[in-house]
Structure 1
Amino acid sequence: MFTIGVATIELRLPGNSSLKGKRAILRPIIARLRKEFNVSVAEVEAQDVYQRAVIAITCVSSDASYIHGLLTKAVEMVDRMRIDAEVVDYDIEIL
């Protein structure tokens, strides 16, 4: 049997005034998550709002504790990144 994990991260992008600027902030975050954690990442909400972004990170494994640990590390990495974004909220679900 397999387990699916989903982490949703809400970001605030203060001072951003365009979708181009938003993409410039999100693109490196998404690329780094994919590279370092081998997960699927997508912007899932607030796609037309300049100063807010919500990204979802997903992975599949047979071990729920592994998934929870991986997603926790991914959220922590985003929070530590020196970017023009602030983690406002996050949620991790194991399905």
Structure 2
Amino acid sequence: MKETTVNVGVARVTFRLHGNDSLKGKRKIVKSLIERSRNRFPIAIAEVDDLDRYQRATLGIAVIGNDSRLLNAILDKVVEYMAGMGLADLESHHFEIIPL
């Protein structure tokens, strides 16, 4: 019996929060980015870096499945969706598909 390949797609996405001058304001933006994305896509997402910097947010995103092209497309759509919200400026993103 052939074993199915399982893949994990991960992304690291960094946003610039222009005009934000407090961690409270940052939390509001990050919470909105996370909750709206999680409700729209089958992903796990969390803030993973730049926790004390109130003008930058770095999010980690993960998705699992057996089709690496589909995982890459989901990650791409999530980043596009978050950037399109207009809450923050997309600074950088990096995807990686890891076969297990």
TM-score, structure 2 normalization: 0.90
AA aligned to 1:3 is: N
* Counterparts of 2:68 and 2:37, CA distance in 1: 19
How far does residue 82 in structure 1 lie from its aligned partner after superposition?
2.3
Q: Is residue 42 from structure 1 mapped to residue 46 from structure 2 by the alignment?
A: yes
The number of residues matched between the two structures is: 94
Structure 2 residue aligned with 1:81: 85
AA aligned to 2:57 is: A
Q: Is residue 25 from structure 1 mapped to residue 2 from structure 2 by the alignment?
A: no
Deviations 1:54-77 (A, max 9, x none): 001101001101100000000110
* Counterparts of 1:45 and 1:8, CA distance in 2: 10
Unaligned runs of 5+ in 1: none
Q: Is residue 71 from structure 1 mapped to residue 80 from structure 2 by the alignment?
A: no
* Counterparts of 1:75 and 1:7, CA distance in 2: 9
State the identity %. Answer: 38
* Counterparts of 1:81 and 1:15, CA distance in 2: 16
Structure 1 residue aligned with 2:97: 94
* Consecutive aligned runs of 4 or more in structure 1 exceeding 2 Å deviation: none
Deviations 1:31-85 (A, max 9, x none): 01111102000001000111011001101001101100000000110111121x1
- Indicate which of 11, 15, 18 corresponds to 1:14: 18
